[in-house]
Structure 1
Amino acid sequence: MQTLPKERRYETLSYLPPLSDAQIAKQIQYILNQGYIPAIEFNETSEPTEYYWTLWKLPLFNARSTQEVLSEVQACRSQYPNFFIRVVGFDNIKQCQILSFIVHKPSRY
């Protein structure tokens, strides 16, 4: 059995190739189906010591479709093309972040 090459990994799903918009939409649909609140965050780095990411606008409390969230991801990508961008899902009952995954990496990575 061969091990994976040593390289930097980023959050959930990081062992997979970059996700297509259709695959991102499926993950966002899961967030919505679970009743979690989607939000988009961005940061210049994805270092493990970097705990605070900047929130893109407010969390999408009223999002009912994946297209609403994807359009905000696209807007964030166009505004910050050289930043890491991730989608997070918040649980309003537990008052915490349940999941997050990278949807955009700068071209230098």
Structure 2
Amino acid sequence: MSEVMDYKSRLSDPASRKFETFSYLPAMKPEQIKKEVEYLVKKGWNPAIEHIEPEHMMSSYWYMWKLPMFGETDVDRILSEAEACHKANPENHVRLIGYDNFSQSQGTSMVIYRGKTV
């Protein structure tokens, strides 16, 4: 049996914090983000974008960037909204959420733009 790794993520060290799907991996490249959005759309999930200051990501709700994009299937439109959120809030983490209508929950949630860490 393999040994379990400690990822050294601590509340006292904002730069070490891990969050959401894929946070233990290097930041995604634009083409990887696009593939994730394509998957979200293919599953029929409703995209939504949220953002927050890195120092508050663990202690409060994230801010919603506009309303969820119910029924949106245009990948480029979803990506442009995420980029607009990032440009308007360059210091913040920006995450993409896929809401699943049938299970009434999040099908996926991932940080696609990372803000500055202290």
Normalised to the residue count of structure 1, the TM-score between the two structures is 0.87
Q: 1:28 aligns to what? A: 37
Unaligned runs of 5+ in 1: none
- Between Structure 1 and Structure 2, whose CA radius of gyration is higher? 2
Q: Secondary structure at the residue paired with 1:70?
A: helix
Q: 1:88 aligns to what? A: 97
How many angstroms apart in 2 are the aligned matches of 1:108 and 1:94?
Answer: 34
How many angstroms apart in 1 are the aligned matches of 2:7 and 2:41?
Answer: 34
Within 5 Å, which residues of 2 pair with 1:25-64? 25-44=34-53, 45-47=56-58, 49-50=59-60, 52-64=61-73
- For the 8 Å contact 2:92–2:116, the answer to whether it is kept is no
Moved over 2 A (4+): 1-5
> Counterpart amino acid of 1:93?
F
> Counterpart amino acid of 1:105?
R
- Give the alignment's Cα RMSD to 1 decimal: 1.8
- 1:64 Cα deviation from its structure 2 partner: 1.5
- For the 8 Å contact 2:92–2:115, the answer to whether it is kept is yes
How many angstroms apart in 1 are the aligned matches of 2:81 and 2:108?
Answer: 18
Q: Once the two structures are superposed, what CA deviation does each residue of 1:29-53 show, in whole Å capped at 9, x if it has no partner?
A: 1110001001101112321x43x21
* Of 19-28 and 94-103, the range deviating more from structure 2: 94-103
> Counterpart amino acid of 2:25?
L
Q: 1:105 aligns to what? A: 114
Unaligned runs of 5+ in 2: 9-15
Corresponding residue pairs, total: 107
